[in-house]
Amino acid sequence: MSGKLYVVGTPIGNLEDMSVRAVKTLQEVDFIAAEDTRVTLKLLNHFEIKKPMVSYHEHNAREKGGEIITRLLSGQTCAIVTDAGMPCISDPGEDLVRLCAENGIDTVVIPGPSAAISALALSGLSTSKFVFEGFLNPQKNARLERLEELKREKRTIIFYEAPHKLCDTLSAMYQVLGDRKITLARELTKIYEEVIRTTLSQAVALFEEKAPKGEFVLVVEGMVEEEQSLTFEQALELIQALVDKGEPLSKAAKDVARQTGFKKGELYSRFLAE
């Protein structure tokens, strides 16, 4: 008989968020597949769990996945955990679950915290419909292209981002999505937990002044209906507002053209003519 794979959520900062069932599962399985065994060892030590571990991360998933499946098929049980939060959510696990499904191996979830859902809950933005985007491509053009695709998304959008890329990402979001509401959820469940409910332009300004530190989830308001139907006159007013803030006319015309769909050249020349 084949064993079972347990997909176990672990805390995103505060160890007290580890569920009783998660502890029990880690105690009872034959072995643990961990994204980083050093990180998971700290968790195991905290809960006084002694268990054999194998490392399973994005760079060895193909080779280790096969080995784990062989052990599961021989009847062993395995728990997969990542450094923090739910496995399979912008984290290793998806391939292993798929391999289990292909091989007829049972999978069981032990749900735990996820930064995305925790941030959404605190965002103060609409939670009834949302999409999870995870990490944007770090490459500038690919990131802008993806944001263009998301521009007309009406549902709340959840992003993950590393602190050293945050400023570039916020600027790209402002450039493509316009001045929407954004909630930045920082260091959730940790000592310096902070929720910043602001707009994209203010967020850009904020982190120009002080460098971002810690882990962030960005929860961005979906497209609001009026954006779709801005008149040409309103687009010119938007340009005026940006120019008043100190933005060069050419950049302001480009940003507003992206936001509204009007042609940059037409906006530019009409603005100068008025």
Residues near ligand SAM, by CB under 6 A: 12-13, 82, 84-86, 89-91, 114-116, 160-162, 185-190, 215-217
Which residue in the shown chain puts its C-beta closest to ligand SAM? 85
For ligand SAM, the closer CB: 18 or 84: 84
Distance from C-alpha of 77 to C-alpha of 31, rounded to nearest angstrom: 7
For ligand SAM, the closer CB: 61 or 84: 84
- E strands, 59-171, in order: 77-81, 106-110, 130-135, 156-161
Cα–Cα distances (Å) from 227 to 60, 108, 124, in that order, read: 45, 44, 21
For ligand SAM, the closer CB: 34 or 185: 185
Of 106, 91, 94, 36, which Cα lies nearest the Cα of 65?
94
Distance from C-alpha of 50 to C-alpha of 71, rounded to nearest angstrom: 19
* Min separation Cβ 251 and ligand SAM, Å: 29
Structure token pair of residue 142: 């690919």
Q: What angle do CA 183, 205, 196 make, to 5 degrees?
A: 20
* Min separation Cβ 33 and ligand SAM, Å: 14
For ligand SAM, the closer CB: 82 or 156: 82
* Min separation Cβ 159 and ligand SAM, Å: 8
Lay out the sheet containing 31-34: strands in order across.
Answer: 53-55, 31-34, 77-81, 4-8, 106-110
* Min separation Cβ 90 and ligand SAM, Å: 4
For ligand SAM, the closer CB: 178 or 212: 212
Cα–Cα distances (Å) from 8 to 19, 26, 27, 87, 160, in that order, read: 10, 8, 12, 7, 20
* Min separation Cβ 74 and ligand SAM, Å: 29
For ligand SAM, the closer CB: 162 or 224: 162
Using CA atoms of 57, 60, 61, 67 in order, give the dihedral in degrees to the nearest 10.
-120
* Min separation Cβ 234 and ligand SAM, Å: 35
